[in-house]
Structure 1
Amino acid sequence: VISKKYSVRLNSSWKRSEKPNSCPLCIFLQRRLVLGYAYPAYDCYKTLELNKPQIDQLRFWCQYWILLAFLTTLETITYFTVSWLPMYGEAKLALVLYLWYPKTRGAKHVYESYLQPVLARHEADIDRGLLQLRASAKDATASHLQAAVSLGRACFAEVAGRVSSQLQAARSSGGGGRAGQVQ
């Protein structure tokens, strides 16, 4: 033991804490979820549930969630490219904190300076793409539903045919038991 405040165990293995989620990565991920999603969501809820919602506050939280959705989508697309960067997770956490922290309120700045102009410039293209996507999804859903119904009918017909042939075989062989007693 080096000192009472800092004890060092010599010639014995360090034991990990038996508490679940005590690893640094787990703690970091929990903090990211709480600080990036849970706290801002609750603050957004509080803003919405006020008797007279403050439009500026409501606008801020809408900007925050739009940015967070955009960043989450971008991260999903580029994950294998950026995830190996040193301190990536910490930088992402710092960005999320910057976006909602009351003194910085970075979501307003980032949204109005960067994201809103890009979205406004490409809004017609995005809307057109979403309409095409909805139409394609509707067509694909109808096509898959029709294929599923056809497959269901074919399976039902096959099962009904097998049951019918087994009943006929049982009747013709004078099969005892219940199979021969169908009315």
Structure 2
Amino acid sequence: MGKSWSLISHLHTVAGPSITLLYPLYASVCAMESPSKADDEQWLSYWIIHSFVTLLEMLAEPLLHWVPVWYPAKVLFAAWLALPQFKGASFVYEKLVREQLRNYRARYPRKGAAAAAVGGDDDDHKVHIAKAEAEHDHVQ
């Protein structure tokens, strides 16, 4: 059992970074070099969600230390986000992140000098969002 357990432990330590970092890094570079915008969206979505999960993980580390299934669950979630068969990152971005951004922007529209200093007014952002949604709908 000792050698088998050692092999499983070693695979575990290689699988996590491979699924959460190496494959997404490679696929992101490939997406940047391809003419399609759909894969760019998938990988930008992945990195946004990965960053958010990493931040949450850092904040909740004392609690997660006591949850023995956290790391395997995180690796499975990252696989679902990253694998092209599932397009989980695009799904999560569409259903959660984009919806929260819309709610936030509707609740707190940027106006006046502060908006101009940051790069325009609320109408510019609405046009940008509409263009991005039109491109996204056209690609699918």
Question: Structure 1 length normalisation: TM-score?
Answer: 0.51
Partner of 1:171: none
Q: Report the count of equivalent residues.
A: 108
Higher normalized helix content (fraction of residues): 2
Distance in 1, Cα, partners of 2:102 & 2:11: 38
Q: Distance in 1 between matches of 2:42 and 2:93?
A: 9
CA displacement at 1:99 relative to structure 2: 0.3
Structure 1 residue 95 displacement after superposition: 0.2
Larger relative contact order (CA 8 Å, sep ≥ 6): 2
CA distance in 2, matches of 1:41, 1:106: 16
Compute the displacement of 1:119 (Å). 3.5
1:61 match? 43
Other-structure match for 1:27:
11
Residue among 57, 61, 67 paired with 1:85: 67
Whole-Å separation in 1 of the counterparts to 2:69 and 2:7 = 17
SS in 2 for 1:113: helix
Among residues 15, 29, 44, which one is paired with 1:45 in the alignment? 29
- Give the AA of the match of 1:68: H
* Larger gyration radius, structure 1 or structure 2: 1
Number of the residue aligned with 1:36: 20
Measured at CA, do residues 97 and 88 of structure 1 come closer, stay the same or move farther in structure 2, by a change above 3 Å? same
CA RMSD, 1 decimal: 2.8
Note the C-alpha offset of 1:109. Answer: 1.1
Identity %: 25
SS of aligned partner of 2:60:
helix
The gaps in structure 2 that reach 5 residues or longer are 111-140
Which aligned pairs between 1:147-158 and structure 2 lie closer than 5 A? none
